[in-house]
Amino acid sequence: MGKLVFKNIRKYIFKTGDKSLNKLFRDEVNTNSKNYFTLENLAEGNYFYKYFPLGNAIKCLNDNTMAFVEPSRWNDAYERLFYEADYSLVSSEYQTHPLVYATCATYVKYNEPAWGIYSGDDKICVQFEIDRPRLRYEIIKSLDNGDSVYEGVVQYATKRRIQRLGKKKNITKNGNEINNKDYDLFISNNGIPFGIANYLNLLLLKRQDFHHEQESRFFIVKKEDVDNQTEKAKEDTYEVSDSTGRRSYVTHGKVKILNNIQWIKVLKSITINAEEKHYAYKLLRDTVNQMIDREIGDPTEKAKLKAKLEPVSYLVYGKTPDKITIEK
């Protein structure tokens, strides 16, 4: 496992080869009092890869939306620890640990686990290959005035290390107390008062088991939630039973939907783990074509985009192998 570091917050300087896009981004920041921050340097590369169950991908393309969720909805309890932690002993101001909304993407063209983790009940998963600068513009464009977005690369640590991070002292095998270097790094941070940078650094920690994901996270902090000290969800899930006695769990936590995300300008490619003859492939292809027909008027441009964004069929395990007969 690599060394954990504290990532300072920096104002993001948007700079691409597209001067008109650069101006649009600056206008959102300067005219509408929006902010885009990064936590230290971002991962290198031009593209993100984001995975969806089929239904979520269809909804994004149909409605031009993107969902951010409160971290209390994250599946892994170790990821939720610092969102639900009690910070009252290190900070009396609620602004240092506000309600946030988050989404994630990977910055490597990905391996097998994602296709299973992000598939729905039908086992279908869709991968969006996303232009990074354009996505950043679409996100800040869709924020409400005065809101902020933060982007950072996830760091990975063991379960034990994550669980003990809030303690000032560690106990050695000999029973001696020693300073907890992780506490010094993430909480006290050389005596600097606990603030938003500490809080978001903690929300960028994830179990070492997920290191293969190579994840970046985006956090939205709404101005109204900071000003009004809006409370976060206090519970993760509660159990319910239907009339048949089957048990299920309902997740607490808010969802923030960004509208007006122009996926047609963000997407480089779309991949689905289904054959071209499968209903899911046809549904996705038809949805993409409808999006293009809806947003593009020029017939030549339409044809180019339909060819570019025609879903790619990717069978994670390849075709079903022939049955093996073990020879004597």
| Per-residue pLDDT at 237 | 55
Token pair belonging to 89? 């002993």
Q: Please tell me which residue, 179 or 251, carries the higher pLDDT value.
A: 179
- Would you say residue 242 has pLDDT above 50? no
DSSP label at 9? E
DSSP, residue by residue, 142-154: HSPTT-EEEEEE-
For residue 23, count CB atoms less than 10 angstroms from its CB and return exposed for 0-12, middle for 13-18, buried for 19 or more: exposed
- Would you say residue 225 has pLDDT above 90? no
Q: What is the C-alpha end-to-end distance of the chain, expressed in Å? A: 46
Token pair belonging to 264? 């047609």
| Per-residue pLDDT at 241 | 47
pLDDT category of residue 234 using cuts at 50, 70 and 90: low
The region of weakest confidence among 18-27, 162-171, 233-242, 310-319 is 233-242
Token pair belonging to 278? 């499968």
The region of weakest confidence among 95-104, 124-133, 209-218, 227-236 is 227-236
- What pLDDT digit, counting tens, does each position of 200-220 carry? 999 999 999 988 889 999 999
What are the start-end ranges of the E strands in the chain?
A: 9-11, 35-39, 47-53, 66-69, 101-106, 125-131, 148-153, 155-157, 169-171, 177-179, 205-207, 215-221, 237-241, 247-251, 255-258, 267-272, 312-313
Torsion, Cα 54 55 60 66, to 10 degrees, reads -100
**Taking the CB of residue 179, how many other CB atoms lie within 10 A of it?**
11
- Are 133 and 47 a contacting pair, CB within 8 Å? no
- C-alpha atoms less than 13 angstroms from C-alpha of 60 in its C-beta half-sphere: 22
- Would you say residue 236 has pLDDT above 80? no
- What pLDDT digit, counting tens, does each position of 255-268 carry? 999 999 999 999 99
Q: Please tell me which residue, 216 or 1, carries the higher pLDDT value.
A: 216
| Per-residue pLDDT at 201 | 97
| Per-residue pLDDT at 68 | 96
| Per-residue pLDDT at 81 | 92
User: How far is Cα 154 from Cα 205, in angstroms, rounded to an integer?
Assistant: 6
| Per-residue pLDDT at 247 | 52
Q: What is the CA radius of gyration of the chain?
A: 22
pLDDT category of residue 251 using cuts at 50, 70 and 90: low
